[in-house]
Amino acid sequence: MGLKRICGWIIRKKSIGRIIIIEVSSDSVKPSVLVLKEEREPELFKLGMEIDIGTALCFEGEEAPEQRSARGVEYIARKIEVYAKPIEPLPVDTMGKVPALLDTRIKYRWLLVRNPVEKAIFIIRNSLLNAAREYFSKNGFIEVQTPKIVAAGAEGGATLFKIQYFENDAYLSQSPQLFKQMLMAGFTRVYEITPYFRAEKYNTTRHLNESWGIDVEQGFINSVEDVLQTLENLITYIIEYVLKNNKEELEILGATLKKPSTPFKRLKFQEAVDILRSEGLEISETEDLSDYAEKKLGEIMAGKGYELYFIVGFPWASTGFYYMRDEDGVYTRKFDLDYSGLEIASGGQREHRYEKLLNALKEKGLNPENFSFYLEAFKYGMPPHGGFGLGVERLLMRMLNLENVREAILFVRDRTRLVP
Q: Please say whether the dihedral angle defined by the alpha carbons of residues 246, 255, 238 and 173, taken in this order, is positive or negative.
A: negative
DSSP states of 404-418 as a string?
Answer: -GGGGSSS--STT--
d(CA 236, CA 222): 22
Distance of alpha carbon 395 from alpha carbon 388, whole angstroms: 14
Active-site residue among 343, 351, 393, 407? 343
307 is catalytic: no
Three-class DSSP category at 211 = strand
Q: Can 50 be counted among the known catalytic residues? A: no
Alpha-carbon torsion, ordered 32, 131, 113, 198, to 10 deg: 180
Active-site option among 394, 398, 406, 407: 394
Active-site pick, 207, 350, 398, 406: 207
Query: Has 385 been annotated as catalytic?
Result: no
Question: Has 71 been annotated as catalytic?
Answer: no
Q: How far is the C-alpha of 55 from the C-alpha of 64, rounded, in Å?
A: 23
Q: Is 198 a catalytic residue?
A: yes
Active-site residue (options: 206, 333, 352, 385): 206
Asked if 232 is an active-site residue, the reply is no
Cis peptide before 368 (omega within 30 of 0): no
Active site (annotated) includes residue 206:
yes
Instruction: Catalytic residue, from 60, 63, 200, 240: name it.
Output: 200
Q: 114, 198, 325, 352: which is the annotated catalytic residue?
A: 198
Distance (Å, whole) CA 307 – CA 360: 34
Q: Which residues 6+ apart lie within 8 Å of 282 measured at CB?
A: none
Decide if 71 contacts 22 (C-beta within 8 A). Answer: no
Q: Which amino acid is at 273?
A: V
Tell me how crowded residue 22 is: count the other CB atoms within 10 A of its CB.
27
Catalytic residues: 198, 200, 206-207, 343, 346, 394
